[in-house]
Amino acid sequence: MESSGTINLGKYARLCFLVIELGTEAMRQYFKKILLPSGTSLQQFLSSNRVILEGMLSKRKLNKTQFDLLFPPGGTMPATCLNNFDITLLFSLIRDLHPKTSDVPEPKSDVWNNLQAARSSPDLPRQILDLIEIKFYRNSLAHSKSVNITDSDYELMWQSITISVLNLGVTTEQLDSVKNITIDPEKEQEYITRLKNQEQEEQNLKEGLHTRIRRVEHAVTVIVVLVVAASMGMVLRDKLPKSILGLIDMLQFGMANLGSFSLLLLTFMITVVGVTLVKEMLQHQASRLHETIKCGFSDPSTVQIVSRREWGAREASGPMSPLLIPVKYVIIAHTVSGLCESVEACSGILRGIQQRHMADRGWSDIAYNYHIADDGRVYEGRGPSIAGSHTKGWNLNSWGIAFMGDFSYRLPSPRALWALKAFLKNSVENGFLEENYVLLGHCQVAPFASPGDTLYRELKTWDHWQDIHA
């Protein structure tokens, strides 16, 4: 066993993975529970609060990039899915738009930005404290100057973050998937680099803001000096260059012949300079690179389908509804389970999912029609002609296909993505899918973050994806 002072680089990466992935999911769960009461869509919520959100933009509580996520430029409708909202944006929305109660601090309260103050507040609701804890640890990790962490610090941070995300609705299954995931050195460094790049982007924005402020100050200073010089007349003429003297002569003429209008003109000049620089600042957006794997397509007959019998599925516990073939819609989800790259490992995960679906949720069988693992195999669920239990209101006219794993911050393997494309093409050719079938992300038709931000962005580039929402 390692001593309490041992340095372990992998533990830092795992903490980053925990707080970014499950911390974000925890805030989404709280947002949906508290800010989106039953029957309220995200579009309705954003539309009804647009004036407040525009005020947050003008007060720089939101930046232009965040506001464009809420209200996409050129569109007539606000956002419909929480998938692209990160911890910073979700926290800002919860802080400023939380339903008002006596125990919830005002948006301007220091409690929201001070963990010590939050922990010392006796009446603060536990879940509000959990939100602040997650934001604090996210900032601490992102702004850390070192990626080294001792065992004792790791255990303390892991326990604190774990308690908070579980309190906010993250499941133990999701937590176990992060705790047990294997992070190889290359991916570990890639994840750390990404987090550090995020911190650098934020620092660049701050430095850009300070630079623009200094430029405004310099512009104002120059104009003020010229006005003073013009007011002093000939006192400084012998000590100034000709270019400055020309400006002074123009200002003297304006002040002598236009009176107060010249002062208004100067004020206007200062305003134009300031507004131009501020506009430039707001338009500056921090860009993040998202890797996208474009899979080639080959013979669909090479896709390997693992039958229910092969992965050890139980028999269904009751009658289920048939599907009308060919199917019109394909809904893509993710299982938020551990990753697997062998039939043996994937079969064990699937048996566990089936057990939870049948025993805990009372369904007759595993929810999805098919599953796809990182090994590039397609695992049969209910199959092509039996309605699933994956999406309320859509089960009778769609297939539910779930990628095995959590794809909020990574894509499935190239083999897995190719397997889906090949499987769908083969299904069209064999009459199970309509030729013009519609591909959807689970989050478009159900209040979930599934199939994960990164996978959802990839699906939106595919030919059959459509921008429709329930």
Q: Is 274 in the same domain as 342?
A: no
Last residue of a domain, one of 225, 255, 283: 283
d(CA 433, CA 425): 9
How many residues does the structure list for the chain?
Answer: 470
DSSP 150: B
Mean pLDDT check: name the lowest of 4-13, 165-174, 408-417, 456-465. 4-13
Angle at 371 between CA 357 and CA 80, to 5 degrees: 80
The pLDDT > 70 percentage for the chain reads 70
401 and 439 together in one domain: yes
Residue 439 contacts residue 445 (beta carbons within 8 Å) = no
Q: Mean pLDDT throughout 110-116?
A: 84
Whole-number Å distance between alpha carbons of 45 and 31: 11
**Cα 427 to Cα 192, 193, 302, 328, 430, distances in angstroms:** 40, 40, 13, 12, 5
In whole angstroms, give the CA distance from residue 148 to residue 103: 38
In the 8-state DSSP scheme, what is residue 301? Answer: G
Q: Are 236 and 376 in a shared domain?
A: no
Q: What DSSP element (H or E) covers 52?
A: helix 50-58
The pLDDT score that the predictor gives to residue 215 is 64
Contact indicator for 468, 438 with CB cutoff of 8 Å: yes
Q: Could you tell me if residue 46 is inside a domain?
A: yes
The pLDDT tens digits for 173-219 are: 888 777 766 655 665 666 566 555 555 544 554 555 556 556 656 66
Place of tokens 């009459």: 431
Range with lowest mean pLDDT among 25-29, 122-126, 236-240, 295-299: 295-299
Residue corresponding to tokens 């430039």: 280
Write the single-letter amino acid at 337: S
The Cα-based distances of 342 to 174, 253, 405 in angstroms read 21, 85, 14
The pLDDT of residue 313 is 92
Tokens of 405: 């794993």
**436 found inside a domain:** yes
Q: In whole angstroms, what is the distance from residue 372 CA to residue 418 CA?
A: 10
Of the candidates 115, 117, 122, 166, the residue with the CA atom closest to the CA atom of residue 137? 115
Separation in Å, CA 348 to CA 6, 80, 342: 34, 35, 10
What CATH number does residue 439 fall under? 3.40.80.10
Same domain (yes/no): 405, 262 = no
- Answer yes or no: do 305 and 279 share one domain: no
pLDDT given for residue 86 in this prediction: 85
Q: In this predicted model, what pLDDT tens digit does every residue of 419-458 receive, in sequence order?
A: 899 899 988 988 889 999 999 999 999 888 899 999 999 9
Task: Look at residue 227 in the predicted model and tell me its pLDDT.
Answer: 57
pLDDT at 332: 96
pLDDT at 155: 82
pLDDT value, residue 186: 60
Rounded-to-integer distance, Cα 444 and Cα 442, Å: 5
Neighbours of 216 (CB within 10 A): 18
Structure tokens at 32: 């949906």
pLDDT value at position 282? 39
- Residue 307 sits in which domain range? 300-459
Better-scored residue on pLDDT, 425 or 154: 425
164 lies in some domain: yes
Residue closest to 402 by CA, chosen among 438, 442, 346, 355:
442
189 within a domain of the structure (yes/no) = no
Instruction: Retrieve residue 171's tokens.
Output: 């499941």
Residue that terminates a domain, selected from 239, 254, 283 = 283
Give the pLDDT confidence score for residue 346 in this predicted structure: 92
| 241 plus 111 within the same structural domain | no
Across the chain, mean pLDDT equals 77
The secondary structure of 403-468, three-state, reads: ECCCCCCCCCCHHHHHHHHHHHHHHHHCCCEEEEEEEEEHHHHCCCCCCCHHHHHHHCCCCCECCC
The total domain count for the chain is 3
Nearest to 419 by CA among 351, 452, 370: 370
As a whole number of angstroms, the distance between CA 159 and CA 164 comes to 9
Q: What is the pLDDT of residues 324-346, one digit of tens each?
A: 889 999 999 999 888 888 889 99
Total-model pTM: 0.46
Asked whether residue 177 falls in the same domain as residue 251, the answer is no
pLDDT at 3 over 90: no
Of 183, 204, 232, which residue constitutes the final position of a domain? 183
- In the chain, the percentage of residues whose pLDDT exceeds 90 is 25
Answer yes or no: is 270 within a domain. Answer: yes
Residues 215 and 177 in one domain: no
Kindly state whether residues 234 and 109 are assigned to the same domain. no
Residue 317 has pLDDT above 50, yes or no: yes
Question: Are 179 and 202 contained in the same domain?
Answer: no
Tokens read off for 175: 């937590």
pLDDT tens digits along 254-302: 555 555 555 556 555 655 555 555 444 433 332 222 222 222 233 334 5
Check whether 2 has a pLDDT greater than 50: no
> Both 139 and 170 in a single domain?
yes
User: CB–CB of 419/375 below 8 Å?
Assistant: no
Least confident span in 88-102, 107-121, 394-408, 439-453: 107-121
Please indicate, yes or no, if residue 174 is contained in any of the structural domains: yes
Stretch 43-53: mean pLDDT: 90
In which band, very low, low, confident or very high, does the pLDDT at 39 lie, cut at 50, 70 and 90? confident
> Is residue 444 included in any domain, yes or no?
yes
